[in-house]
Structure 1
C-alpha cells in the first residue's frame, strides 16, 4: 500500500504524508488555489490512515449537508478506487457512508447545518480517529470547528484532523487567521496547480489559468495561487510574512522597541523591530499582547526579554504614569512625541518602505493586524475614504512608536 500511495500522491504532498507517518503531525491545514490537489491528497491520506488504524473510524464534514454527495463523498469514493481498494469497501448514499468490509470501519459524512446528527453519532466499535473539514472557510468560525472536534474525537488513542480550503481574498477571514496560528502538531501546507504534473489537470486548465494571469493578475493570484490579495484597500502593500531566523537578526546592530498601552477591551501591545536603512526594510520579530495586566507585570516581561537594553524603548505618550512606572522598574522608557500629523507621517513612512517583514510564527497577532488593516470605504459608494482607521491597530501603533526616532529623521 505504501508503494501504491507514493505512486498516487504528488510529490508536493509527500513530505506531509511522511510527517504524519512519523507521528509528528496531528493536524494538517491544506490551503491553496484552484486545482492545487489538496482535496485529492487528503482523501487518499484519510483512506490510507483508516486502513493503518483498524480500531478507528473517520468523519468527513462540510458546512452544508446538501453539498456532501457531489463533493467529499465522491472524492472519498474516488480515493478508494485510486488506492485499489474498491472491492473492500461498501459505499452507500442512504445512509451516506463507506464501510471497510474486512474490519467494519466506517467513513461517515455530515453537514454541520444539522448538528443533531453529529450528537447522535453511533459507532459499531472504537472511536472516531480521523476528522476532515472540507472548505474550512465556509464553517462559522473556530468555535464551531472546535465544538465539532470535541464532539466526534472522543475516546480514541490516536487522532488526525484534516482541514482544507481555498483562502478567501480578505486577510481578516477567520480561516486565513487560523492558518497563521501555530500549535504543536499542526502543519500548514500551501500548494498550487503548478505543483502538480501538467497532465493531471490538462492543457485546458493551464490555458485558462494563464489567460487569467494575463488579463487580471490579482484575480489569478487569488483564484489559482491561493493568495490572500485583499479587497484592493490594504494599507500595507509592502508587507511580507515569512520566517526570520536568528542568524538574520544577528546582522542588525540596533533594535527598536515599542509599547501601546491598553487594559481591556483594548490590549497592551509590545513589539521589537530591526531596521535596515540601506535597503529600507523593517523587520518585526517579537511581540507580546496582554489584557488586564498591571504595569509591573508587563515591565517584568520586558525586562526578561531585555527590551530597551540595546535600543530605544518608546511608548504611547497618553499615559505618563505608565511610562514612569516602567522607568521605576528599570526600563529606559520614553514617551512618543505625539503631535498634529504624527499618525499620518509615521504611517506614510511605514507604507513607503521597500518591505515590512513580519515573522508570523514569532508575531502572529502583529502579522494579523498588518495584513488585515485596510482603508475604510464609503458604505454607499464603495469609495476608499482618506485617513487611517483607529481600530485593531494596537501592534501597528507599538511599531510606530518603536521606530519614531527613525521616521522623524526623514532621510533615513
Structure 2
C-alpha cells in the first residue's frame, strides 16, 4: 500500500482539539449551525479506524432512512477530504462502509429497529465506537441507555470504548443537558462550538449569522452561539413524545394537513388523530421533502392518505388543482389568523409519534418573535414551521365549525 501523509490540522481546522483527543466514554458536542461538528466527527471516525486496526464503529440516528443522506454522506465526504478513497468501499444494501486493507467496518442503524443494534457481530476486531448524530432526536433517556448498553465487552489498549454525540441545542429540556453538560465527570467531554470556529465559511454564510444576530437575537443565541433553547420563548409546552406504533391502527378520526414548499422550504404533510372527548391530538405520521414537483407528491399522498381529505395551504391554489386532477381529495383551507390556530392547538394535549423527528424539532424551537429590546411579540418567528403550519391546516375545518365528522375517512 502506498503511504499518504495528511496534516490533520490543515484538514480539520481549529476548535476541536479536546474533542479529537478525548478517550473517555462519552463525548458530546452541541453547537450552532455551521460549527462543523458533524464534519469533524466524520473526519475523526475515518482517520481513527485507519489508525486502529481492530476498531469498528456504529452510527445511529433516530430513524434509519435519514442516515443515507446525512451521516453516510458526511463520512464519504471525509474519505474524499482525506484523499483515501482507494482504501474504502461502501454499499447501500446493507448500508455500511469497509476499510479494505483490514476489513474493518462502519455500520449504520436506526433506533426505529432496535434489534438490529443489538445483533451486530463484527468480523474483524471489536465494536468499540458509536456515533449518534442529531442527538436531539433521541428524546427518551431510556433509548440512549439502550444504545449505551449495546457498546459493551472488553477492549484491549490502545483501543477504548466511546460514544460520540453531535447535536443542535434546540431545547434545554433535553436530557443531554442534565446528563452531560450539568455535571463534572472525567469520563465525559461536553463542548459547545459555534460557527466562529469554522474557517471555511464564506462571506455569505457569515452575513447570514450577522443578520440573524441583529434581527432575531433569540434565534441567534441558539443557532449562532450554540446556547440551549430558551424555554420562556417557546410557544408549545403542551406536547410530548410517545411510541404510538400500537395505537395507530385504532385511529379513525384522521386529519391530514399539507404545507407547500419547494427549494429552500419543505413541503410537509402531517397526519393526526383527534380525540375531542379527552382533548388530545395524536400526531402519528409526517412526510417532508424538498424540490418535489406536485406530480411527485401524488403517489406519496395516495399511499399515505388514500381516500381521505387533505387540507392544503390556500396560498397555492394551482398546486391544489393539480392534486385534484390526479385523484387526490385536496381541499383549500379557509384563511384564518395564525394565532387563532395556535390558540386552538394549545387547548389540546399533543402526543407526537417518536418517528416524527422533523415535527419534534419544530415544536422544540417554535418561539415568539422578539423586538429589538428582547420583548416577546404576539406572533411566531415563522422559521422552520412547515409541519406546524400543516398541523394547523389539518384541523382548519374543525377549528371553524367544531365538526369532527367532516374529515373522517370513508
If the length of structure 2 is used for normalisation, what is the TM-score? 0.53
1:7 aligned residue? 10
2:25 aligned residue? 26
2:219 aligned residue? 219
2:112 aligned residue? 113
The reply to whether residue 153 of structure 1 matches residue 156 of structure 2 is: no
Match runs of 1:197-236 below 5 Å? 197=199, 200-232=200-232
Residue 164 of structure 2: which of 162, 165, 187 is its match?
162
Assess if the C-alpha contact under 8 Å between 1:209 and 1:224 holds in 2: yes
Match runs of 1:2-401 below 5 Å? 3-17=6-20, 19-20=21-22, 23=23, 25-157=24-156, 158-168=160-170, 170-178=171-179, 179-197=181-199, 200-232=200-232, 380=347
CA distance in 2 between counterparts of 1:82 and 1:181 reads 35
CA distance in 2 between counterparts of 1:72 and 1:231 reads 29
Q: CA deviation at 1:125?
A: 2.7
Assess if the C-alpha contact under 8 Å between 1:167 and 1:175 holds in 2: no
Partner secondary structure for residue 90 of structure 1: strand
Partner secondary structure for residue 70 of structure 2: helix
- Consecutive unaligned residues of structure 2, counting only runs of 5 or more, are 235-344, 349-366, 369-410
Assess if the C-alpha contact under 8 Å between 2:90 and 2:96 holds in 1: yes
Q: Relative to structure 2, which stretch is displaced further, 120-129 or 187-196?
A: 120-129
If the length of structure 1 is used for normalisation, what is the TM-score? 0.53
1:397 aligned residue? none
Q: CA deviation at 1:379?
A: 5.2
Q: CA deviation at 1:3?
A: 4.7
Q: Deviations over 1:26-47 (max 9, x none)?
A: 3211110100111111111111
Q: Deviations over 1:230-275 (max 9, x none)?
A: 13369xxxxxxxxxxxxxxxxxxxxxxxxxxxxxxxxxxxxxxxxx
Q: What is the root-mean-square deviation of aligned Cα atoms in Å? A: 2.4
Assess if the C-alpha contact under 8 Å between 1:137 and 1:174 holds in 2: no
- Describe the shift of the 1:150–1:76 C-alpha distance in structure 2 as closer, same or farther (beyond 3 A): same
Assess if the C-alpha contact under 8 Å between 1:4 and 1:83 holds in 2: no
Q: CA deviation at 1:54?
A: 0.8
Assess if the C-alpha contact under 8 Å between 2:31 and 2:192 holds in 1: yes
1:400 aligned residue? none
Aligned length in residues: 233
Assess if the C-alpha contact under 8 Å between 2:139 and 2:174 holds in 1: no
